[in-house]
Amino acid sequence: MDKPFFQVVSVARFTELLADFSPLPLENIPLEHAHGRFVGQSITAPENLPQRGRSGMDGYAVRAADVFGASEGNPAYIELAQELDIQEISTTPLAPLTCARIVTGGSLPPGADAVVMVEHTEDLGAGTIEMRKSPAPGDNVMLPGEDVRQGDEALEAGMRLTPARIGLLAALGITHVTVGTKPVVGILSTGDELVPIDQTPPPGHIRDVNTHALSCMITEAGGIPRAYGLVPDNLSALTASLQQAVKECDVILLSGGSSIGVRDFTLDAIKSCSDAEILAHGIAVSPGKPTILGRIAGKAILGLPGQVTSAQVVFFIFVTPFIQSLAGRHDALTAQRPSIRAIMARNVFSKPGRQDYVRVRLEAQPNALPKAHPILGKSGLLKTMLAAEGLVVIDAENEGLDADIEVDVMML
């Protein structure tokens, strides 16, 4: 007799359950290893950036008031008082009606508040520079502290360290940064029908897709995958593998064995472990209803559907933000996913009471929003994910979407 689903929860409730798991401890790492990590503690600027006024162009540092109104037809004539190398810091104030030749990145002399680009000047010789442009104060210069002032917050806790943000820290001389720890995510792929990918599947068998696809998704999400191989449909074998993974990982994914078939042992394996609880068995979504969420020794155990498309959609919707939340991104579970507006190409029907995630491909249209073409197909077929560029959500209270309406497409 089939085992019934119980504790089926809404998307919102499932997200709340994931939010109950605390982020992992922080660690301090060299800046060169920090790309993609999440800032663990707010970072305060130890100095002004730039430290002093610098030129943004090759040209002449001036007092903007001295060349006010200068133009092609009415140039200003300014005396060259200084010539500054890139590394030279002048302590001589710029006198009225004088200028300093300067290169990009050079430090401004005291009193200068603008730079006239060399393209708008001509050296007339004998120390006289003709200027045919009237800059405003601050034009073509980087002011002290214009990027960030000493003592101000340079980066907030929870921010992802992108190349630009790492560049900011490098400019401030910060060599190490405190970040959230990367979660180690164990993968147990279950089922007697699975064989390794280097084998030819006999009748009734298939190659193990989920271990490899989920490993890539874990890495993209910011985690560290750890595969535990293929586990047969055997309660004692699954329990032993699960207990080993709990010792070594921060999150465990069990692929397959989460539905209501008589050979689906995920639920029983979780229950057989000490200090275990089942938080949800089923989410009101499609695809992915059989998903399980459990906890063993404070660690999340996620039983994903065995069907490859369902497993990948559930991972994208729930597991990716969960991994990022554990790794220190504060808004991971609540932030809006990157999306674009599109026009539905055809009607799509849905069952009320569940939230549907419809795979779509996008067709560009001249002078209009792209069209979103639903990709319908069985959850065991890889081609529906291969062709999909994004997901369109049909809320649980709706019976579908009509053609020609505007929708948000979550980009995969």
**CA gyration radius, the chain:** 30
Check whether residue 65 and residue 137 sit in a common domain: yes
**Omega cis (within 30) before 50:** yes
Please check whether residue 334 lies inside any domain of the structure. no
- Residue whose C-alpha is closest to residue 372's, from 382, 352, 387, 386: 387
Q: What is the pLDDT of residue 1?
A: 39
pLDDT grade, residue 233 (50/70/90)?
A: confident
Q: Are residues 357 and 310 in the same domain?
A: no
Q: What pLDDT score was predicted for residue 136?
A: 96
Same domain, residue pair 300 and 189: yes
Q: Do both 37 and 72 map to the same domain?
A: no
Domain boundary among 122, 142, 162: 142
**Residues 272, 302 within the same domain:** yes
- Residue in the structure block whose two tokens are 């020609």: 404
**Assigned domain for 225 exists:** yes
* pLDDT 10s digits, 187-210: 999 989 999 999 999 999 999 999
Q: List the Cα angle 200/316/338 in 5-degree steps.
A: 135
Answer yes or no: do 193 and 225 share one domain. Answer: yes
Is pTM beyond 0.75? Reply is yes
Distance CA 330, CA 160 (A): 10
Best CA proximity match to 332, nearest among 322, 344, 319: 322
Query: 15-42 as b/e, with b when 16 or more CB fall inside 10 Å?
Result: bebbeebebbebeeeeeeebebbbbbee
Asked if residue 3 belongs to a domain, the reply is no
pLDDT (tens digit, 9 = 90+) per residue, 237-284? Answer: 999 999 999 999 999 999 986 555 545 688 899 999 989 999 999 999
Phi then psi for 21, rounded to 5 degrees? Answer: -85, 130
Q: Which of 126, 142, 158 is the last residue of a domain?
A: 142
Q: In this structure, are 87 and 161 located in the same domain?
A: no
CB 106 within 8 A of CB 55: yes
Amino acid identity for residue 136 in this structure: A
For the segment 370-396, the average pLDDT, to the nearest whole number, is: 89
Secondary structure of residue 35 in the 3-state scheme: coil
Q: Contact at 8 Å (CB) between 115 and 56?
A: yes
Q: Extract the tokens encoding 226.
A: 């750890």
> What is the span of the domain harbouring residue 34?
26-49+149-180
Domain boundary pick from 92, 126, 142 = 142
Residue pLDDT, tens place only, 79-100? 999 999 999 999 999 999 999 9
**Average model confidence (pLDDT) for the chain?**
94
d(CA 31, CA 190): 39
Residues 278, 191: one domain?
yes
